Amino acid sequence: MTLQARPSETAPSALIAAMDTLATTRLFGRDEEVYAQGAPVEHLYRLVRGVVRTTRLTADGRRQVGDFYYAGDLLGLEVGPDHQFSAEALTDCEVQVVRRGAVRAFAGDAAMDRAILEGIRRELERAQAHVMLLGRRSAREKVAAFLKSMAEGCAGARGGPQPVEMPMGRQDMADYLGLTIETVSRMLTQLQDEAVVEFPAVRRFQVKKWDRLEALAA
């Protein structure tokens, strides 16, 4: 019953070593902000414990969730001089924080570049998968794909009877998938009625028919 969604995506070891030495560990409570949208990009963050979401607010108040981050993930790897997204703790979090310049001086420019490259690479993978998810899928498929990725991330949930924990609420799911909470809720009950998944609690589920789920998530 771990909250680790992607099993063992460890950052490059040189960077980890540098961060373990240089970084200060900070704790964030639920819904606390790790960094703000629009703030200058100065630090590098590594999530040690807990779950973080990145969100972006448009001028007219609509919210888009960028992604969810789990223990081991690197945060704050954005491209421009300012953060395009803000990062907020979904659960209580433990985060290593370090100035970019510090780790650069410690680990060397080349190692730093390689580490950043690796991190950005993963960001790109996420973003591209997100585009595919948002582009041409029905609400049903979006929700199914979301559940599938949650279940895949949870180590050993594939065949085992252990349930998958969802750290995020319905609103976060909706804002990630580009849907309303009502639609998300309807699709979840629909999938449950068809016995594809089962929810013993609001934020805990178990995949019952993996093949059906995969077919839906396409």
Would you tell me which residues interact with DNA (CB under 7 A)? 138-140, 169-171, 178-186, 188-189, 199, 201-203
Binder among 178, 185, 186, 209 for its own copies (CB under 8 A): 178
Beta pairing, strands 52-57 & 33-35: unpaired
Binds 110: which of DNA, its own copies, none (CB < 5-8 Å by kind): its own copies
**Amino acid, res. 190:** Q
Nearest distance in Å: CB 119, its own copies: 10
Q: What single string gives the DSSP state of each residue in 10-78?
A: PPPHHHHHHHHHHPEEEEE-TT-EEE-TTSB--EEEEEEES-EEEEEE-TTS-EEEEEEE-TT-EE---
Site for its own copies in 149-168 (CB under 8 A): none
Q: Which two tokens stand for residue 196?
A: 């594809």
Task: Write the binding mask 20 to 59 for its own copies: x where contact by CB under 8 A, - elsewhere.
Answer: ------------------------------------x-xx
The reply to whether 122 sits near its own copies by the rule CB under 8 A is yes
Q: Which two tokens stand for residue 36?
A: 């703000």
First to last CA, the chain: 26
Residues that bind its own copies (CB under 8 A): 56, 58-60, 62-64, 66, 79-80, 84, 109-110, 113-114, 116-117, 120-125, 127-128, 130-132, 134-136, 175, 178, 218
